[in-house]
Amino acid sequence: MWVSFLLVLPVLSAVSAQEDLSRKVFLFRNEPSEDYVVLKPQPKEPLQNFTVCLRSYTDLTRPYGLFSYATHSEDNEILIFKPKPGEYRVFVGGEYVFFRVPEDPLIWEHVCVAWESATGTVEFWMNGKPWPRKGLKKGHTVPAEAFILLGQEQDHYGGSADSYNSFSGELADVYMWDFLLSPHKMRSAYQDFQLPSCTLGWKNLQYEIKGDVIVKARLR
């Protein structure tokens, strides 16, 4: 857990929707920010495997959370976190492994994270390329009841967060599956090609915006 100026997520203005967000982004305009996006669908059963993919664009150099899946028993049940340029941290069940990445300035970064309980193997893909696999939480089960959000790192289920770890920039192409994608589909996710049916999907996303986050056309 990163300790700085702790805040309690306030009651913010909310906008709910379900839509196809193809070629669109969530634009987090404030820096730092108390804003976030809640993703409504949840897995129907506890997870023995999962894959999460998303695309981000930011000039931040401080720590920030991208995808936070908190349960009543563990705030960092699943977390994709970037503590500094050149490193990602992937949390499962409150523990993490890190992956070193290039420090290229101002590029879109597409990351996919996959984990399987049976072997405790974590896969990390960035911009369509796999990094060396690592081990984490073998035999663990991810609970199904969760509070899932984008743009913050939760400090407890649906509750507090640290604005110093908030995201500022653009997020797009968020997906979550309850299985491991094949290498071919990992590359398809990066290229935004046809993908399998999923728990959370960018082309039919049910979400609720909290605070000053807007949906805009993607610039490319």
Q: Which of 6-15, 128-137, 162-171 comes out lowest in average pLDDT? A: 6-15
For residue 134, how many other CB atoms are within 10 A of its CB?
Answer: 15
Alpha-carbon torsion (96, 102, 104, 106), positive or negative: negative
What are residue 140's phi and psi, to 5 degrees? -75, 155
Q: What is the pLDDT of residue 13?
A: 55
For position 64, which CATH number holds? 2.60.120.200
What tens digit of pLDDT does each residue of 66-92 get?
999 999 999 999 999 999 999 999 999
Residue 107 lies in a domain: yes
Look at residue 10 and tell me whether its pLDDT is greater than 50: no
Residue 5 lies in a domain: no
pLDDT category at 41 given cuts 50, 70, 90 is confident
Q: Which domain holds residue 209?
A: 13-217
Percentage, residues of the chain above pLDDT 90: 79
Residue 123 lies in a domain: yes
Residue 209 lies in a domain: yes
Q: What is the pLDDT of residue 2?
A: 42
- The Cα–Cα gap between 129 and 84 comes to 20
Percentage, residues of the chain above pLDDT 70: 93
Q: What is the pTM of this model?
A: 0.91
Residue 178 lies in a domain: yes
Residues 88, 50, 189: CA angle, nearest 5 degrees: 70
What tens digit of pLDDT does each residue of 178-188 get?
999 999 999 99
What tens digit of pLDDT does each residue of 151-180 get?
999 988 886 677 889 999 999 999 999 999
Domain total of the chain: 1
Residue 200 lies in a domain: yes
Residue 98 lies in a domain: yes
Residue 1 lies in a domain: no
What does the radius of gyration of the chain's CA atoms come to, in whole angstroms?
16
